[in-house]
Chain A
């Protein structure tokens, strides 16, 4: 179905009134928000009008997705990897097909469920938090689109003091060329709890532009620790749009890692809100582009409370005629004394036709702060290359190793061992195609 209010009606069937109103409102915001152009600072390097015509996409609805067929190979592969997890879920074209978690966790009050069932089972919780607190539709065109048309997603709720060792994992799979799939994730970590969450986006290769829109809301209450990881490995033809907003309350630790490897165009808007004193946020990112891929990261670190810290490190390597844009801003709001905020973006250009743009910004309105940012764009470290060549490696092998070392440096800051291995393998896989 195309983009119209009839879709809203369908999505609203049987839903509580608050949700219908919320979707309706988001739809109105969407209609009244013009498509961002490259004239706007935040979209300077990604020309949406050249990428996607939102009106012509096919918005998949619950009835449109056939879940009875055999699983595609790519998904089978992931399912058979036998990962250790506290819980896992699979979404196919925006609808949950499987979701389960360790029984002992639900006994402790942990909720890990599809958003669709949460609408029935945890309506109050969603009404309080979903698309109002962290990521209301007013945040932008895509945020509004997603809030109006999301079909499913994940709710993860961790009660006070519960400490979960193994990560929760979600695989988001797309199969319909030319479709638009909107999913959402809401993570609420109550005071003193600890949890990690890893999502992957995979798909077939498409010859029509296909939109994977996702919205992420994370709320870490006092002293909670949350680790979020997104690994984007979708196929050719996918426009991966992800809006993420994280709210870190007093003394919480709220870390994110965004790995961008797949898709034709990938856009991540990540806003980290340091709302409580002592809150900390590590923001990591890795991207590796080849062919005509575009990676556009737009990040912001908002220090609202005093004595909070944030540290951002985004590193990317660009091959073929791929492009990367990084726009990051640290905002230290008046009164946020004692802020420690850092921001670094480093790019490696591996080919003559690759291009990188970097805009690391600072806006500081408090004086007792330690803030710095840095950006570099350059070529492979010649000394390291030379050393490896002198040890008998071929140029190709040596270059792969240097790139891997450059990107792997980011992962050394990630505590999840299994995930580090998976990401490293994925990068290695992609590097093999680097001539």
Chain B
């Protein structure tokens, strides 16, 4: 079979999370967005006046900001946004016991493997269905130490002062068009608080699922890591395959106090009809360490650049990312590190694979402000191209104001080497097996950082995708 045909046959039918549930929401706003819809969302959530004011101001900011002209193709997005549901409430209340979650939603998450995961080694699990968290649980041993792992709405209700002190301080609504949109219509997401000195030994995990067709999901997560505390948060995202486009735009803010350590892992596996435009930023204080581990496998277009603002002396930021773009996909991802204090260090390692007509772009910023003496930053980007129709781009911005700093950036682009393939085939492997082995080797440095079940999943995906990728 000719190569192209093989690739088409492979398609993304292999996307195993593409199934559709029956719609069973208890409330949803009409399609589109205006002030009235923002008021409805706020009212449903029984919010204080300041939050409604915040949302309405953000809506005006969103409306005033032009659509970005850089990054991916957003020309059809405006149309999509006119037709989507900005708020779909899946059930009346959030459950703390898995047994109480409605049957159809429970089935969905069981197919995605949530209870299994929970039984394993997680400190806490959250599940968001459409616009709200339907389930949240935290092991008693952590709860008794003062850890908070809640839906963002409950964070606002139950910890109003802590919430207001940090909310939107890392990412102001006006930061970009989509942070403004999220600020206006946010719903769902996690509120996490790790008290001083507490080391969470196992990860917290949140699953995000969109089932409704033409749906917009706007989760908002706020994480506060107190002095000397340590934790790891994992999010996974999936959605059914529809012929119409859906939209996901999250805002994730993380505040790391001094000497703390936090890792945020994302495995984004949205279906290929999803626009995924996310703003993630961590404010890193003295001697704290922030690690973003970002896997972007799904979606139609992802634009996402996790950032570390290194504000305190000795702060460290690390961004590791894998992007995989196949037919019809554009992964415009990367990272930002901003050095604003002495002895700050950062590293970005990005690996991307483009296959078929897929396009992956690395876009990054390394900024060193004057006064950040002895700042060190290193950026490495490697791109692998599978077919002659694949595309890769690299757009790093390096802005240095401090002479006593050292900054390096390197990027390479390559295709799978004929010699490598030849060698592996001579050892009895099929071409597909050889290709999958080479691709796995390529992403291994990052894949090995992933939680085991995700690493296995990634390998499986690569094997499937490499079938028929060579002619």
Which positions in A face B, CB cutoff 8 Å? 41, 334-335, 337, 347, 349-352, 354-379
CA of A424 to CA of B443, assembled, Å: 45
Closest 5 pairs (CB-CB, A-B):
A349-B403, A367-B385, A362-B394, A371-B413, A358-B398
CA of A334 to CA of B393, assembled, Å: 13
Interface centre among B383, B404, B414 (most CB of A within 10 A): B414
Query: Main secondary structure on chain A at its contact with chain B?
Result: strand
Which positions in B face A, CB cutoff 8 Å? 70, 370, 383, 385-415
> Which residue of A349, A369, A372 contacts B411 across the interface (Cβ within 8 Å)?
A372
CA of A357 to CA of B402, assembled, Å: 11
In the bound complex, residues from chain A placing their C-beta under 8 Å from that of B408 are 374-376, 378
CA of A379 to CA of B402, assembled, Å: 9
Q: Which residue of B lies closest to A343 (CB)?
A: B411
Say yes or no: A372-B403 contact (C-beta < 8 A), given A367-B387, A367-B388: no
Say yes or no: A359-B393 contact (C-beta < 8 A), given A374-B409, A375-B408: no
Interface centre among B394, B409, B413 (most CB of A within 10 A): B413
Say yes or no: A358-B409 contact (C-beta < 8 A), given A363-B393, A364-B383, A367-B385: yes
Q: Which residue of A lies closest to B418 (CB)?
A: A368
Contact check, A379 vs B391: say whether CB atoms are below 8 A apart: no
In the bound complex, residues from chain B placing their C-beta under 8 Å from that of A377 are 398, 400, 405-407
Contact check, A379 vs B406: say whether CB atoms are below 8 A apart: yes
Contact check, B394 vs A373: say whether CB atoms are below 8 A apart: yes
Say yes or no: A337-B388 contact (C-beta < 8 A), given A352-B370, A359-B395: yes
A337-B388, A360-B396, A379-B406 given; 20 more Cβ-contact pairs under 8 Å? A350-B403, A355-B401, A356-B398, A357-B398, A358-B409, A361-B395, A362-B392, A362-B411, A364-B383, A364-B391, A368-B415, A373-B410, A375-B398, A375-B408, A375-B409, A376-B408, A377-B398, A377-B405, A379-B403, A379-B404
In the bound complex, residues from chain A placing their C-beta under 8 Å from that of B415 are 367-369
Nearest Cβ distance between residue A362 and chain B, in whole angstroms?
4
> Which residue of B394, B403, B404 contacts A361 across the interface (Cβ within 8 Å)?
B394
Interface centre among A357, A362, A366, A370 (most CB of B within 10 A): A362
CA of A406 to CA of B209, assembled, Å: 54
CA of A364 to CA of B404, assembled, Å: 34
Q: Which residue of A lies closest to B409 (CB)?
A: A375
Nearest Cβ distance between residue B368 and chain A, in whole angstroms?
8
In the bound complex, residues from chain B placing their C-beta under 8 Å from that of A355 are 399-401
CA of A329 to CA of B414, assembled, Å: 17
Contact check, A378 vs B407: say whether CB atoms are below 8 A apart: yes
CA of A118 to CA of B415, assembled, Å: 49
Contact check, A351 vs B403: say whether CB atoms are below 8 A apart: yes
> Which residue of A356, A359, A370, A371 contacts B396 across the interface (Cβ within 8 Å)?
A359
Q: Which residue of A lies closest to B387 (CB)?
A: A367
CA of A23 to CA of B399, assembled, Å: 39
Nearest Cβ distance between residue A412 and chain B, in whole angstroms?
22
User: Could you pull out 17 A-B pairs where Cβ atoms are within 8 angstroms?
Assistant: A349-B400, A349-B403, A349-B405, A360-B411, A361-B396, A364-B383, A367-B386, A367-B390, A371-B414, A372-B410, A372-B411, A372-B413, A373-B410, A373-B411, A374-B409, A378-B406, A379-B404
CA of A347 to CA of B405, assembled, Å: 12
Contact check, B405 vs A378: say whether CB atoms are below 8 A apart: yes
CA of A77 to CA of B412, assembled, Å: 47
In the bound complex, residues from chain B placing their C-beta under 8 Å from that of A379 are 403-406
CA of A373 to CA of B364, assembled, Å: 14
Q: Which residue of A lies closest to B376 (CB)?
A: A378
CA of A230 to CA of B414, assembled, Å: 34
CA of A376 to CA of B403, assembled, Å: 12
Say yes or no: A362-B406 contact (C-beta < 8 A), given A356-B400, A367-B387: no
In the bound complex, residues from chain B placing their C-beta under 8 Å from that of A347 are 400
In the bound complex, residues from chain B placing their C-beta under 8 Å from that of A362 are 383, 392-394, 411, 413
Say yes or no: A360-B413 contact (C-beta < 8 A), given A351-B403, A352-B370, A379-B404: no
In the bound complex, residues from chain A placing their C-beta under 8 Å from that of B394 are 360-362, 373
In the bound complex, residues from chain B placing their C-beta under 8 Å from that of A375 are 396, 398, 407-409
In the bound complex, residues from chain A placing their C-beta under 8 Å from that of B401 are 355
Q: Which residue of A lies closest to B403 (CB)?
A: A349
Say yes or no: A361-B388 contact (C-beta < 8 A), given A367-B415, A378-B407: no
Q: Which residue of A lies closest to B383 (CB)?
A: A364
CA of A357 to CA of B368, assembled, Å: 10
Contact check, B397 vs A357: say whether CB atoms are below 8 A apart: yes
Contact check, A354 vs B409: say whether CB atoms are below 8 A apart: no
Q: Which residue of A lies closest to B379 (CB)?
A: A375
Q: Which residue of A lies closest to B359 (CB)?
A: A365
Contact check, A369 vs B413: say whether CB atoms are below 8 A apart: yes
In the bound complex, residues from chain B placing their C-beta under 8 Å from that of A354 are 403
CA of A296 to CA of B447, assembled, Å: 39
CA of A81 to CA of B390, assembled, Å: 55
CA of A375 to CA of B410, assembled, Å: 7
Q: Which residue of B lies closest to A366 (CB)?
A: B388
Contact check, B411 vs A374: say whether CB atoms are below 8 A apart: yes
Interface centre among B370, B383, B391 (most CB of A within 10 A): B391
Interface centre among B399, B400, B415 (most CB of A within 10 A): B400
Say yes or no: A364-B393 contact (C-beta < 8 A), given A355-B400, A377-B400: yes
Nearest Cβ distance between residue A120 and chain B, in whole angstroms?
47
> Which residue of A334, A357, A363 contacts B399 across the interface (Cβ within 8 Å)?
A357
Nearest Cβ distance between residue A184 and chain B, in whole angstroms?
32
In the bound complex, residues from chain B placing their C-beta under 8 Å from that of A337 are 388
Nearest Cβ distance between residue B256 and chain A, in whole angstroms?
26
Interface centre among A41, A337, A351, A355 (most CB of B within 10 A): A355
In the bound complex, residues from chain A placing their C-beta under 8 Å from that of B397 are 357, 359
In the bound complex, residues from chain A placing their C-beta under 8 Å from that of B393 are 361-364
